[in-house]
Amino acid sequence: MTSSAIVCICLAVVPTTVFAQRPPNQAKNVATITGTVTDSVGNSPLVGAGITILNDGDFAFVASTLTEPTGKFEIGGLIAGKEYWVEFCHDDFSPAFANVTVPKMVEKKLTRRTAKPDYWQAKAQFLVGGQSDQKSFQKSWEDFEASGVSSEGKTYVARDLKKLGANPDVWDANRKGHATHLMAYASADPSILSQAERAIWLNKSDPVIGKLDPIIVADIQASKAKWQPVYSKRSSSDPCSIPYR
């Protein structure tokens, strides 16, 4: 998304309201989606984050815009009462998706793709929120996994959750998959995860993939398979590119 980052510098000082093209007979049924995009650690606004609206079902491109310096965005001209997928992206952050029915206001927090260990430590502490019981640890990890964060982030947070007292061995037996994932990520080498994840997304052979726990490899592949249909529908107007290029 390098080119879109350059565009963002030029557009940051102008309004970011975008209107999707609609036939005249739909003019009375238009709706708007608004919101703010921030860093999930520290809540600082993200300027130049890409917002892309996609049709629910076929993921066809509908409209897009970039966030203002305040992290705010607005896209109008959508069909009222209709469901859409919204993609949120930024060069330095893992992309995120939301399924919404417009009109809608969305507050989306993105998490960095790569960061220093203290960033992930703050993330882990935020997830736990001062709770120390195992049910809270399990819920925190499940929510974190579902947020689409990078494999590097999962490794650091898994380690930090264990340091804070998480014990996957006593988690709900009916949801052992999450516990197994935490243990695998907590034992992984974070220095090779970004390289391995990139290789898997790009279908490239890389020796570092063989150094990963098969659970992690399968997790990355499952994420890729889930979102591949979305990334195959790229538009020249779309500021959100594939996670790895």
Has residue 183 got a pLDDT over 70? yes
Whether cis (ω within 30° of 0) applies to the bond prior to 103 is: yes
**Residue 235 within any structural domain of the chain:** no
Instruction: Indicate whether 38 and 134 sit together in one domain.
Output: no
The domain in which residue 101 lies consists of 2-110
**Residue 243 within any structural domain of the chain:** no
The pTM of the full predicted model, rounded to 2 decimals, is 0.81
**Residue 172 within any structural domain of the chain:** yes
Instruction: Indicate whether 27 and 126 sit together in one domain.
Output: no
Q: Could you read off the pLDDT of 157-171 as tens digits, one per residue?
A: 999 999 999 999 999
Boundary residue ending a domain (76, 110, 144): 110
Instruction: Indicate whether 221 and 121 sit together in one domain.
Output: yes
Q: What is the pLDDT of residue 3?
A: 40
User: Which residues sit opposite 34 in a β-bridge?
Assistant: 74, 105
Instruction: Indicate whether 66 and 144 sit together in one domain.
Output: no
**Residue 42 within any structural domain of the chain:** yes
Q: Give mean pLDDT, residues 231-243.
A: 74
Instruction: Indicate whether 82 and 155 sit together in one domain.
Output: no
Q: What is the pLDDT of residue 43?
A: 95
Q: Could you read off the pLDDT of 28-60 as tens digits, one per residue?
A: 699 999 999 999 999 999 999 999 999 998 888
Instruction: Indicate whether 12 and 101 sit together in one domain.
Output: yes
List CB contacts of 235: < 8 A, sequence separation 6 or more: 61, 64
Instruction: Indicate whether 96 and 180 sit together in one domain.
Output: no
Centre a 10 Å sphere on the Cβ of residue 208 and count the other Cβ atoms it contains.
16
Instruction: Indicate whether 68 and 162 sit together in one domain.
Output: no
Query: What's the mean pLDDT when you consider all of the chain?
Result: 87
Domain count of the fold of the chain: 2
Instruction: Indicate whether 46 and 144 sit together in one domain.
Output: no
Please name which of 126, 244, 121 lies closest in space to residue 193, comparing C-alpha atoms.
244
Alpha helices in 61-189 (DSSP H): 117-128, 134-146, 151-163, 176-186
Instruction: Indicate whether 35 and 103 sit together in one domain.
Output: yes
